[in-house]
Amino acid sequence: MTRIVNFIEKTISLASGMRNADINFDTMTASAVVMVSDVMRNGRPLVGVAFDSIGRYGHGALLQERFIPRLLNAPPSTYANPHGPGICPHRLWSVVMANEKAGGHGERAGAVGLIDAAAWDLQAKIEDKPLWALLNEKFPGASTPNQTAIYASGGHYRPNEGLDGPKQEISRYCQRGFTRFKIKAGGLPIEQDLVRIEMAIDAAGGAENLSLDFNAGLTEANAHDWLNAVKGRQLAWVEEPVDPLNYQLLAELCHAYPGAISTGENLFSFADTRNLLRYGGMRPNKDLLNMDISLSYGLVEYGRILDLLAACGWSRSACIPHAGHLLSAHAAAGLGLGGHETAPDHPIFGQFPEGSSIVDGQLRLGDIPGTGLEHTAGLKSIFSSILS
Amino acid sequence: MTRIVNFIEKTISLASGMRNADINFDTMTASAVVMVSDVMRNGRPLVGVAFDSIGRYGHGALLQERFIPRLLNAPPSTYANPHGPGICPHRLWSVVMANEKAGGHGERAGAVGLIDAAAWDLQAKIEDKPLWALLNEKFPGASTPNQTAIYASGGHYRPNEGLDGPKQEISRYCQRGFTRFKIKAGGLPIEQDLVRIEMAIDAAGGAENLSLDFNAGLTEANAHDWLNAVKGRQLAWVEEPVDPLNYQLLAELCHAYPGAISTGENLFSFADTRNLLRYGGMRPNKDLLNMDISLSYGLVEYGRILDLLAACGWSRSACIPHAGHLLSAHAAAGLGLGGHETAPDHPIFGQFPEGSSIVDGQLRLGDIPGTGLEHTAGLKSIFSSILS
């Protein structure tokens, strides 16, 4: 019976001079975690690894205080895989969520998401297959389970950068195989920001290749004005226009805006997603859903969300998970979602392990067992130092 | 200009053999915090203190990792009271919430709630008045600002206790000046639990003196059955029948159940409360709201919630905050809310400082400056050890 013998967290700084319409990232952090099993492979213990999403800070403190002790104190029989070797991520999820009250889906959803992701990575390695393949077995439905559409996300507001910053960024991404792009919006007065956006549309080769991310920065006072200002442009989508919990305002926007609206990255649970579907006015064959798998209790909860979506008439292709971490890439491919976001220049989130490729806007994942996180340029040394 | 020179957190075990319909409390913890200022009084620095709510674990890790550094790094000018000596809890709140994204109102709401509570305690001491008096000045509206209705909360499921446990507990509380009571429900099959409830009604002197707390334990499968089973009894209210985010099911229950329904203790923000009011089917002149002030970003956010309630036609008397911590008692009295919950036998939460009294179901608070937390039997030694 596989036993989890240790669980290590290391908090990594993601400090940068970036800003979106909501926050700046000067003190941003993220957690790298390693789940150590007692399974030996090539003379070393097999480990599951995971790396945080971005935007809600690391989860080390909460992991140390509450979830790691709960995991390490659990008898291996409580999370054993009943169908074969290794562990069952679903049973392990229930172990770490014991005695957690309903509601309040905030930081703990991100802490549990890291444990969940490490568990899936470990189990994929135990079964000696890439995560996308394991996910395709567990949640069948993808037509090309090692492949997904990918778009380049960027266009933050940076100090000392002109209005043509996003345009230049997009031009660089074009050289690297990307065909669709997203930039931040709403951080400047409308007229000024529109100049920036028009230049970006130009670089993207048309509005249908560009999306705008408002990072929940609009309010009752200006959301309608903003969407009216861009609605003639036939953008790919506009993302998170308003506060993630303001379903009423979102529903008004969905009613008024003819194009696609994308949201959900700051809703961290099945229960919150259900409310978005019930009250947000989202249109199943038009709008997009960005729940962040890592920040929302991981793949076990995401499976529940996919069942909910199916029951409500939504296709998996409406899902483009937030943040562009490698976990999402495997999920987008292996679960047959609508695509994957990536920040190509980011030293951590923009990196893929060897064997992956981005060609004509399609990401193809390689065959390294697990997620391959510890084989990416940005995380290799971080995980090596944890494991040494 | 008052400077916060230190902020100390100590995690306290609240372990007990209790269980409600949702979780058990064997590993429950809570945070005691001390905000140390540079204001000297009687040769010692003046401090603000706060103690956590119960049910969502302590908040020490998150405080240490994110919020205490942010607070201690802030220049005193950013949280100075613009109208007099001391600090401004509203400005201080904005300081600690800098660069926090929208949504995801979970653990951080409890961590910030502790900082907020300590800030109010400190400022009340700087102004040399009890917290209820300061709150009555800042948010006027209470008719008897040092007094509030109080009820005794208990009736948990305990191992080795018979169905008459709650009845015996209520009888004890009657001796101590209580006239209204709440017990846990939904943790046994209906028929069996009803026996327990009938005995409790008897001890309470009538169903109108008793409420039932389901702790979010009911679902689509049994919530209607349960409320039908008790709807003939004219109970004071039934509390949190279902998942805090399942507004749709709650609205069905509000539509079908003729008596009062009370909920909100697991919604931790203005934005979530707004959704409860928009979608939960709650009836302004009948139902009750239990948002937990400490777990919901503290009194600053609660002020916003009170404004929202007023705008939506709700009276403050519909608010009975969750958990029965002393912060809530001051808020219930000083803000003129509907009443206060207390667990009379609890060694920490059931205690009031000298000068307080409970007579005929009314709590009268004394005149000790601040909340008086460090003068209660349960917390005196804990705060002494932190401060020594």
Give the closest residue to B362 by CA, choosing from B202, B148, B196.
Answer: B148
- Average pLDDT estimate for B158-178: 95
Structure tokens that stand for B277 in this block: 């009011």
Contact B26 A107 (CB under 8 A): no
Q: How confident is the model at residue B204 (pLDDT cuts 50, 70, 90)?
A: very high
pLDDT given at position A20? 73
Contact B55 A109 (CB under 8 A): no
Contacts of B94 (CB under 8 A, 6+ apart): none
pLDDT digits (tens, 9 = 90+) for A275-310: 999 999 999 999 999 999 999 999 999 999 999 999
Contact A237, A180 (CB under 8 A): no
Q: How confident is the model at residue A168 (pLDDT cuts 50, 70, 90)?
A: very high
d(CA B234, CA B198): 12
**How many CB pairs below 8 Å do chains A and B form together?**
141
For residue B375, pLDDT over 70 is answered with yes
Contact A266 B102 (CB under 8 A): yes
d(CA A148, CA B130): 61
* Integer CA distances (angstroms), A242 to A208, A309, A341, in order: 22, 22, 20
pLDDT given at position B42? 93
Contact A275 B247 (CB under 8 A): yes
Q: Which ipTM value was assigned to this complex?
A: 0.95
Contact A365, A130 (CB under 8 A): yes
pLDDT digits (tens, 9 = 90+) for A108-165: 999 999 999 999 999 999 999 999 999 999 999 999 999 999 999 999 998 889 999 9
For residue B21, pLDDT over 80 is answered with no
Q: Which residues of B touch A24 (CB under 8 A)?
A: 99
Residue type, A142: A
Contact B355, B366 (CB under 8 A): yes
Q: Which residues of B touch A268 (CB under 8 A)?
A: 103-104, 106
d(CA B141, CA B139): 7
* Integer CA distances (angstroms), B41 to B47, B72, B89, B128, B133, in order: 10, 21, 20, 11, 20
Contact B23 A245 (CB under 8 A): no
Q: What are phi and psi of B99, to 5 degrees?
A: 60, 30
SS3 B340: strand
pLDDT given at position A18? 65
pLDDT given at position B23? 73
Active-site positions of A read: 184, 322
Give the closest residue to B29 by CA, choosing from B3, B1, B51, B7.
Answer: B51
Give the closest residue to B329 by CA, choosing from B360, B279, B293, B355.
Answer: B293
Contact A108 B106 (CB under 8 A): yes
Q: How many CB atoms lie within 10 A of CB B10?
A: 15
- Average pLDDT estimate for B104-132: 98
d(CA B117, CA B119): 5
The residues facing B71 across adjacent strands are none
pLDDT digits (tens, 9 = 90+) for A262-276: 999 999 999 999 999
Structure tokens that stand for A171 in this block: 């031009």
- Average pLDDT estimate for B119-139: 98
A4-128, CATH topology level: Enolase-like; domain 1 (3.30.390)
Residue B22 distance to chain A (closest CA, Å)? 7
pLDDT given at position B276? 98
d(CA B104, CA A244): 9
Contact A35, A93 (CB under 8 A): no
Nearest by CB to residue B62, choosing from A61, A267, A272, is A61
Residue B54 distance to chain A (closest CA, Å)? 11
Q: Which of A12, A99, A100, A272 to substitute to test the interface with B, most B CBs within 10 Å?
A: A99
Contact A106 B268 (CB under 8 A): yes
pLDDT given at position B159? 86
pLDDT given at position B17? 66
d(CA A385, CA A132): 26
Contacts of B323 (CB under 8 A, 6+ apart): B53, B54, B55, B265, B292, B294, B295, B341, B349
d(CA B60, CA A59): 13
Contact B191, B222 (CB under 8 A): no
Structure tokens that stand for B272 in this block: 């979530």
Contact B198, B166 (CB under 8 A): no
Region of B34 (left: φ > 0; alpha: ψ -120 to 50; beta: rest) is: beta
- What is the percent of chain B where pLDDT is above 90? 94
Q: Where are the domains of chain A?
A: 4-128, 136-376
Q: Which residues of B touch A297 (CB under 8 A)?
A: none
Active-site positions of B read: 184, 322
Q: Which residues of A touch B28 (CB under 8 A)?
A: 99
Domain B136-376 CATH superfamily = Enolase-like C-terminal domain (3.20.20.120)
SS3 B280: coil
d(CA A123, CA A371): 11
For residue B19, pLDDT over 80 is answered with no
pLDDT digits (tens, 9 = 90+) for B260-295: 999 999 999 999 999 999 999 999 999 999 999 999
SS3 B279: helix
Residue B24 distance to chain A (closest CA, Å)? 6
Q: What are phi and psi of A183, to 5 degrees?
A: -125, 160
Q: Which residues of A touch B249 (CB under 8 A)?
A: none
